[in-house]
Structure 1
Amino acid sequence: MSSKKYSFKLDTTEAHILKDGSYSLMLVVRKGGQRKTINLGVSASFVEVKKKNGVKEIKSQWNESFQRFEVDGRKELHPDREKLNLWLNELSGRCDELLKDFDKSKTDWTLNQFEQALLNKSKKTGIEAYFTEYIEILDKAGKIGNKICYQNTLEMLKKNDCTFSKRVFNEIDLKYVKKFSEFLDQRGCVGNTKKYYIKTLRSLINKAIKDGEASDVTYPFGKNGYSIASLAQETDKRYLPSQYIEKMKIAELKTYPLNWSRNLFLFSYYCQGMSFVDMAGITTENIKVLEGGKYLQYRRQKTESKDTRFIRIKITDKIQILLDWFKGIDCTPIDGYLLPVVSIPGYEGEKLYNHIRDRYKRYNKHLKSLGAELEFEGIRLSSYQSRHSYAMRLKNTGAPEDVISEALGHKELSTTKVYLDSFQNNEVDKANELL
């Protein structure tokens, strides 16, 4: 059985000719119609041999039939043939043993897993090591929020399972995820908090399958698998009544913190519910002159990737008035930022991330005070409400739900309805003029 799964082969293609004219020896592993070649780091040559009658003949140092180096004693053969053949015998035994272990543990192994286990590359064989490596990649890419998300999920998985460091991907099956879900329930994690952890685990498994590090046979999600959609909590209707929005617009506020938080809230509201982290990150370079006027053009940091479409927001008179206010003497933005959210120059990476988190907490603290100042009865004013209020106002003006969904930035209509990026700008502009 194992002999059909792997073989030793001399690669005689031009790509694998070495400087001395020899050819690389490969271990070829096959499974499910796919194959992987592993360079063994040794080589063999084709040697010209002169017979007694003077006729020249090309002899190979490698015997393709026996899959070993030739050992008939001729000087032209590989000088280390006996030692290398012993090594190949040992390697073949390790391959057989590895395949038996996979069968015994009912592991639906991948070609990458076979290579890593055979060559003792323990760096990626376990799910924890894969987690850690991906966290390092996110850190180097400056995606601090995502890095923390994966760190938190890894820590929670380790709290649930004291043997997690020894786990491989095929063990993270439906049964395992259900037990993890029960563990989260016991810790009081419900709804969106629970979704946060399990969705991150799913994302990592999806990436591992794509990278060839995991098999999809034991995939715990998808059809008939664990349903993440069922975890979504119906969010409280956190929008402000239109009369509260109008009251906020005209209120004469005495302190800078209240004016700062009120104007950031209205900026978010006028800019299609722009999130605080996106408001913190936009710079003067995000202002573009397009057909139809000046626009704010940016990608959401939450979903930023090469495939993410730009969000384009026309700078209306109301937005421009706020931008002019933010340039005032009390709160001039620094480092080219458009808004006075980042308050310490030169920050980047995790320092910048933590600074913005601190400013976010301060923003919500001031919003709470603003709500009390304006006597918003039964409402604890927070940053989320600018986004929800924008969506509700569009809905009340008759905008279709798919337009609202695009405006707010959700990938799916069911997630609801967030940021007008792919619709024609004039449709979005008309809707924004109604605010």
Structure 2
Amino acid sequence: MEVFLLAEIKTNHMATVKVKVRASTIPTKEGTVFYQVIHNRMARQINPGYKLYPHEWDTANAKIVFPPGTGNGRRNYLVSLKSALAEDVRRFKGIISRFERAARNYTAEEVAECFLASADTGGFMSFGRELVGQLKQIGRTRTAERYTTVLNSFGRFRGEKDVPLDEVESNLMVEYEIFLHANDACPNTSSYYMRGLRAIYNRAVEKELTGQRSPFKHVYTGIDKTVKRAVPLKIIRQIKELDLTLFPVMDFARDIFMFSFYTRGMSFVDMAYLKKKDLQNGILSYRRQKTGQLLFIKWERPMQDIVDKYDTGGSPYLLPIIKNVDTDERRQYKNAAHQVNEKLKKLGEKLGLAIPLTSYVARHAWASIAKSKNVPLATISEALGHDSEKTTRIYLASLDTSAVDKANSQILKSL
């Protein structure tokens, strides 16, 4: 399916540029935005690397829309994407105008090459860092941070010397993998860096700045099974029943952990951005910051008990994680996440746990306990808001959300 995102640009010589989105074959995933240059019945496509969900585009009114429940991070992305698309369209108009003023025949391929040439960055690392800047500009902060970490590591390996895009090949990545292992990187850490570099490289290939040489075919890019991070129900019960009255900061960390467990393993960032208006008629609705997927949770008494415990008067947020809307909200959430996990780690040590206790353990624990109670895998996937388990998506398309709420009620009653 292709949906027009912006009106086409026409010139006297019939050169046309259209901005389109190609929907993903998986309904819950973002579609791919691309430009189509048409001239003299010849078409050329350019992929700028932008993504958009079909429900974020209003075909009738030809504009990007903000569906109910859109999180702050996603909203910032959509606002920035509108600006980015408008800027690219402006560049296309300028290129076509220059060709027309030259009063000569030109092709769609030449228009596309001129557009891409203006974004050419030369080396691999310089391209990656420009990509980071673009991602920040369009609100993809988390991806930008990940690419920055990866590029910094690769830069240390290269002695900060860039490498031409055409010289990014298999032997180089094998050498980088050896460098990582020599610096005590475990296979999963090495894979994290390789997958990040691969994503950057593939962007360069999409922009046709280099050919596809498959430089990552001989390095590890999988994910090994890690040390189990789930804890059993009796540990969850112990955490819940701890008397932390004299330790308010640790008490707050415990409450956030339990709130995550109560809400089917909600991630910290999603808890941070929950707003009071997201709770309506006994249903909490939110859109995952990571995937954009909209989830609904039946509001249970233990959730309300935690909310009632803290004064959030004057704040639009449900939980006291982001406390000042006039300052950098993302920085507040990241600082809070660091503090909460630091306190949870100490709490875990106090309980003698064999694994570090973090807010993410609540998510693993919910899924593990649900599985032990024979909750179907499809229901667990729906509850966690997964979008990468293709085998379970077949079931999720028609899954009744009441099954998820029933599973959550069953688990909470076990406490």
Give the conservation status (yes or no) of the 8 Å contact 2:287–2:293.
yes
Q: Deviations over 1:314-363 (max 9, x none)?
A: 21222222222234xxxx36631111112344122xxx333322222211
* Shift of residue 41, structure 1, vs aligned partner: 4.7
2:388 aligned partner: 412
1:433 aligns with 2:409: yes
1:7 aligned partner: none
- 2:206 paired residue among 178, 185, 210: 210
1:52 aligned partner: none
Give the conservation status (yes or no) of the 8 Å contact 1:333–1:341.
no
Give the conservation status (yes or no) of the 8 Å contact 2:321–2:333.
yes
User: Which secondary structure does the structure 2 equivalent of 1:188 belong to?
Assistant: coil
1:315 aligns with 2:299: yes
Structure 2 letter corresponding to 1:387: R
The alignment of Structure 1 onto Structure 2 pairs a total of residues equal to 325
The alpha-carbon distance between structure 1 residues 180 and 166, as it changes in their structure 2 partners (threshold 3 A), is closer
Q: Give TM-score, length-normalised by structure 2.
A: 0.66
User: Which secondary structure does the structure 2 equivalent of 1:297 belong to?
Assistant: strand
1:35-434 aligned within 5 A: 41=99, 43=101, 115=114, 121=118, 123-162=120-159, 164-168=161-165, 170-216=166-212, 218-221=213-216, 226-229=219-222, 232-255=223-246, 256-289=248-281, 294-303=282-291, 308-327=292-311, 332=312, 335-348=315-328, 352-372=329-349, 375-413=351-389, 423-434=399-410
User: Which secondary structure does the structure 1 equivalent of 2:121 belong to?
Assistant: coil
Give the conservation status (yes or no) of the 8 Å contact 1:149–1:200.
yes
> Identity over the aligned pairs, expressed in percent?
27
Structure 2 letter corresponding to 1:165: D
Structure 2 letter corresponding to 1:299: R
Structure 1 or 2, whichever has the larger Rg, is 1
**Structure 2 gap ranges (5+):** 1-10, 16-42, 47-91
Q: Deviations over 1:126-172 (max 9, x none)?
A: 3333212221122223333322211121222222224753412x322
Q: Which of structures 1 and 2 has the larger relative contact order (alpha carbons within 8 angstroms, sep 6+)?
A: 2
Structure 2 letter corresponding to 1:360: A
The alpha-carbon distance between structure 1 residues 192 and 432, as it changes in their structure 2 partners (threshold 3 A), is same
The alpha-carbon distance between structure 1 residues 372 and 151, as it changes in their structure 2 partners (threshold 3 A), is closer
Give the conservation status (yes or no) of the 8 Å contact 2:157–2:176.
yes
Distance 1:295 1:412 in 2: 25
The alpha-carbon distance between structure 1 residues 286 and 401, as it changes in their structure 2 partners (threshold 3 A), is same
Give the conservation status (yes or no) of the 8 Å contact 2:286–2:296.
yes
The alpha-carbon distance between structure 1 residues 184 and 111, as it changes in their structure 2 partners (threshold 3 A), is farther
The alpha-carbon distance between structure 1 residues 421 and 369, as it changes in their structure 2 partners (threshold 3 A), is farther
Q: Deviations over 1:34-77 (max 9, x none)?
A: 799986657577xxxxxxxxxxxxxxxx7x9xx9xxxxxxxxxx
Distance 2:302 2:119 in 1: 58
Give the conservation status (yes or no) of the 8 Å contact 2:256–2:359.
no
The alpha-carbon distance between structure 1 residues 359 and 112, as it changes in their structure 2 partners (threshold 3 A), is farther
* Shift of residue 370, structure 1, vs aligned partner: 3.0
1:106 aligned partner: none
Distance 1:14 1:272 in 2: 58
The alpha-carbon distance between structure 1 residues 34 and 173, as it changes in their structure 2 partners (threshold 3 A), is farther
Give the root-mean-square deviation of aligned CA atoms: 3.8
User: Which secondary structure does the structure 1 equivalent of 2:162 belong to?
Assistant: helix
Give the conservation status (yes or no) of the 8 Å contact 2:274–2:286.
yes
Give the conservation status (yes or no) of the 8 Å contact 2:192–2:221.
no
* Shift of residue 226, structure 1, vs aligned partner: 4.3
Give the conservation status (yes or no) of the 8 Å contact 1:135–1:147.
yes
* Shift of residue 392, structure 1, vs aligned partner: 0.9
Give the conservation status (yes or no) of the 8 Å contact 2:284–2:296.
yes
The alpha-carbon distance between structure 1 residues 123 and 258, as it changes in their structure 2 partners (threshold 3 A), is same
Q: Deviations over 1:160-217 (max 9, x none)?
A: 224753412x32222322222222112222233222211111222233333333333x
Distance 2:301 2:322 in 1: 24
Structure 1 letter corresponding to 2:374: G
Distance 2:202 2:147 in 1: 14
Give the conservation status (yes or no) of the 8 Å contact 1:297–1:313.
yes
Distance 1:34 1:192 in 2: 39
Distance 2:169 2:215 in 1: 5
Q: Deviations over 1:70-96 (max 9, x none)?
A: xxxxxxxxxxxxxxxxxxxxxxxxxxx
* Shift of residue 393, structure 1, vs aligned partner: 0.8
1:49 aligned partner: none
Distance 2:307 2:275 in 1: 12
Q: Deviations over 1:270-292 (max 9, x none)?
A: 11111112211221233244xxx
The alpha-carbon distance between structure 1 residues 333 and 398, as it changes in their structure 2 partners (threshold 3 A), is farther
Distance 1:188 1:208 in 2: 30
**Structure 1 gap ranges (5+):** 1-11, 17-32, 46-61, 68-109
1:58 aligned partner: none
The alpha-carbon distance between structure 1 residues 413 and 202, as it changes in their structure 2 partners (threshold 3 A), is same
Structure 2 letter corresponding to 1:340: P
